[in-house]
Each structure stands twice: as structure tokens, then as C-alpha cells.
């Protein structure tokens, strides 16, 4: 019965082509294939975010007088509110982590090489969107930590050369972090960023479908492969269920804190720092002396990070050896250096 309904829908919606494609789609099966799952897990976590986010929207109020109270309401009065909220906060962090793992595994496996350069570019853009999601969402509970972390973060935006002060005003909706900032961040978080992400995601997935999943060239043309459906799908489901188990455990055993309501007039508490995925950059900027030669230290720092990001984005074009899959010792070394730098500086930033 189920099959007949499915068949009817497929026929009327013209999905037969897609179904055929999926039936024949294969996925390389080799030792490094474990890394293939991280993209899917990231996608899964994004879906979790959308669903829990929509649920939270039923109760959240984006004004300074009500934001904190509404989150408190969700966590104390709404049934399973604590669960939905904690899942949302934890999944955000896990998503950044899996996105980074996904990116680095693509980097080391050189999956960005021709013809998948565009997939890489759209992927980096998606990473930035994910970080933007994290930054904008962090402010929404309007607690002390969030308020001051946003203050510090948007201040850093002001350090961008030329457009810095415009950027800071644009982010804050004014000169200071106020209710206008909250409204703006809320708009970014639930409308602008989801829209952009959906478009980019569709492009990214379409490109992945078009070019298939990259496999190391040394496997050759007759490389072992498994059917996408049902083998890879079932395996991927295992990964997704695993992610659910982790999320549930975190939400139940380490619920996300409510904090104290933000008071713009109170002095900043000691030890303000941003979320972990910004810690490395934050700590680096703290280390840079306020004046380097004639340049303002913070501006220099932001500039260097910006250039590094652009450079990273253009990786497929630096790596002229990747097409033949020859090792590029320097780039591999660079990748390891970047991971080490991020890890070490994040830890240092955490300890203050």
C-alpha cells in the first residue's frame, strides 16, 4: 500500500529520474571512507537546528525586557523545554565541530581538487554561515556572558580596515549593543542566514551529486564501491543515530546554563570570552601589541585573519599538484599547522 502511494507521488512529481539516479549512485568504499560521513552528520545537525529552532520560536521573545525571561520560561515551564533548548545549544556546537572535521578531512584527502573546486568554495562559505549562526544565536538568550561576548565580538568587527566602523554599526544596529542589536541578530538568525544557508546548501549538495563523492585516485577506476541506497544511507543513519545519542546525553546530563540577565550598566565580569570556535582568534588578537610599527595591532590582526581565510578558500588553486594527487608536503604541513594552532590557541584562550 505504502509502495503504491509512493509510486503515484513519484509518477506525478516526475521523480522517476531522480529515483533512477539514486538507485545507481555509488559511493567509494575504502579505508578512508569513514571521513565521508561527517558531511552528512553536519547536514543532519543542521536539520536538528532548524527543527528545534522552530520549536523554540513558539515561545521566544526577541526584546531585552523579555528575551531572558522567555528562555527561562521555556526551560522551567514548558514541557521538555529544557530538552529542546539544550539540544539546540549543544547541536550548534557539535555542528561547528563536525563542519570543521568535514573541512579538514576534505583538505587532507584533497577532495577539493579539480573538478570539485566549486564544492570547496561553497563549503567554506557554508562554514562561515555556520559561524555566523553561532555568533548571532549566542546573543539571543540575552544573558551577561552573551551580552559581553557580543560586545567584544562586534568590537573586533570594528577593527576591519576601511569598512570597520560601518561594519560595527551594521552589526550592532547602532553604536552600542542594545535591543536593536538583539532584534537584528534575531532577524539574521531565523531568516537571513537560514535563507542563505538553504541556497548554498542546495548548491553544495547538487554539486556533490553531480561530481559524486571523490575517492583517492590510487584506487583506480575499478575501485570498490557500495550502492548509495541502501548501503551508504543505512550506514549514514547509524552515524546520525549516534549523533542523536550524543546530543540526548549532553542535553540531559549537561544542560545548557541560563546565566544571569544581561545588565548593560553593570561592569563586565572578569573572564569574558567568546564561544570556543572563536577562542583562537580572540586569544591571538589579545596577544598582538596595540601598536605594531605604525599599524594598529587589532586592525593588523583582523587583516591577517581575513587574508588567511581568503587564502584558505583559494586552496584548490594553490595546490597545483592536487590534480595528479602528488603530495604537496608544504600544504599538508600547513594543514597540520593550522589545526595545531587552532587547538593550542583555543585552549590558551579558554584558560585566559
Chain positions contacting another protein, by CB under 8 A = 51, 55, 58-59, 61, 65-66, 69-70, 72-84, 226, 230-231, 234-235, 237-238, 241-242, 244-245, 248-249, 252-255, 258
Nearest distance, CB of residue 78 and another protein, angstroms: 5
Helix (H) or strand (E) holding 350: helix 329-351
Give residue for cell 570594528: 158
Distance CA 150, CA 153 (A): 5
Cell matching residue 169 = 554599526
CB of 249 to another protein, least distance (A): 6
User: Least Å distance between CB 147 and another protein?
Assistant: 18
Least gap, CB of 257 to another protein (angstroms): 8
Nearer to another protein, 77 or 222 (CB): 77
Residue 170, CA distances (Å) to 166, 185, 296 in order: 6, 11, 22
Q: How far is the CB of 68 from another protein (least distance, A)?
A: 9
**Residue 51 vs 167, nearer CB to another protein:** 51
Angstrom distance (rounded) from CA 141 to CA 314: 36
Number of residues that make up the chain: 352
d(CA 211, CA 204): 11
Nearer to another protein, 236 or 298 (CB): 236
Please, which residue, 198 or 260, has the CB nearer to another protein?
A: 260
- Alpha carbons 306 and 289: distance in angstroms, whole number: 18
* Closest approach of another protein to the CB of residue 247, in Å: 10
Quote the CA–CA distance of 227 and 24 in Å, as a whole number.
7
Looking at beta carbons only, is 73 or 345 nearer to another protein? 73
Cα 121 from Cα 2, distance rounded (Å)? 40
Whichever of 233 and 343 has its CB closer to another protein, that residue is: 233
Q: What is the CB-side half-sphere exposure of residue 116 using CA atoms within 13 A?
A: 25
Amino acid at each position: 500500500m505504502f509502495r503504491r502511494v509512493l509510486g503515484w507521488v513519484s509518477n506525478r512529481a516526475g521523480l522517476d529520474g531522480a529515483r533512477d539516479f539514486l538507485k545507481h549512485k555509488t559511493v567509494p568504499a575504502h579505508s578512508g571512507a569513514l571521513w565521508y560521513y561527517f558531511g552528512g552528520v553536519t547536514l543532519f545537525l543542521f536539520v536538528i537546528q532548524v527543527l528545534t529552532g522552530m520549536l523554540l520560536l513558539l515561545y521566544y521573545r526577541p526584546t531585552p525586557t523579555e528575551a531572558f525571561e522567555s528562555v527561562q520560561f521555556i526551560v522551567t515551564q514548558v514541557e521538555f523545554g529544557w530538552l529542546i533548548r539544550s539540544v539546540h545549544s549543544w547541536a550548534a556546537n557539535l555542528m561547528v565541530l563536525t563542519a570543521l572535521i568535514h573541512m579538514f578531512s576534505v583538505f587532507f584527502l584533497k577532495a577539493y581538487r579539480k573538478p570539485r573546486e566549486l564544492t570547496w568554495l561553497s563549503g567554506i562559505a557554508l562554514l562561515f554561515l555556520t559561524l555566523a549562526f553561532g555568533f548571532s544565536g549566542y546573543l539571543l538568550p540575552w544573558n551577561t556572558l552573551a551580552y559581553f561576548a557580543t560586545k567584544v565580538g562586534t568590537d573586533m568587527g570594528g577593527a576591519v580596515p576601511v569598512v570597520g566602523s560601518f561594519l560595527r554599526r551594521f552589526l550592532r544596529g547602532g553604536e552600542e549593543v542594545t535591543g536593536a542589536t538583539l532584534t537584528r541578530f534575531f532577524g539574521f538568525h531565523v531568516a537571513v542566514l537560514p535563507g542563505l544557508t538553504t541556497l548554498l546548501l542546495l548548491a553544495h549538495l547538487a554539486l556533490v551529486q553531480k561530481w559524486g563523492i571523490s575517492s583517492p585516485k590510487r584506487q583506480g577506476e575499478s575501485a570498490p564501491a557500495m550502492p548509495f541506497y541502501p548501503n551508504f544511507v543505512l550506514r549514514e543513519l547509524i552515524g546520525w543515530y549516534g549523533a542523536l545519542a550524543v546530543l540526548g546525553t549532553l542535553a540531559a546530563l549537561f544542560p545548557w546554563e541560563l546565566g544571569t540577565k544581561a545588565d548593560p550598566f553593570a561592569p563586565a565580569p572578569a573572564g569574558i570570552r567568546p564561544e570556543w570556535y572563536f577562542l583562537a582568534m580572540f586569544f591571538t588578537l589579545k596577544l598582538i601589541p596595540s601598536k605594531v610599527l605604525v599599524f594598529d595591532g587589532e586592525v593588523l590582526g583582523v587583516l591577517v585573519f581575513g587574508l588567511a581565510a581568503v587564502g584558505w578558500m583559494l586552496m584548490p588553486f594553490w595546490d597545483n599538484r592536487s590534480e595528479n594527487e602528488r603530495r604537496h608536503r608544504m600544504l599538508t604541513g600547513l594543514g597540520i599547522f593550522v589545526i595545531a594552532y587552532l587547538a593550542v590557541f583555543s585552549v590558551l584562550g579558554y584558560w585566559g
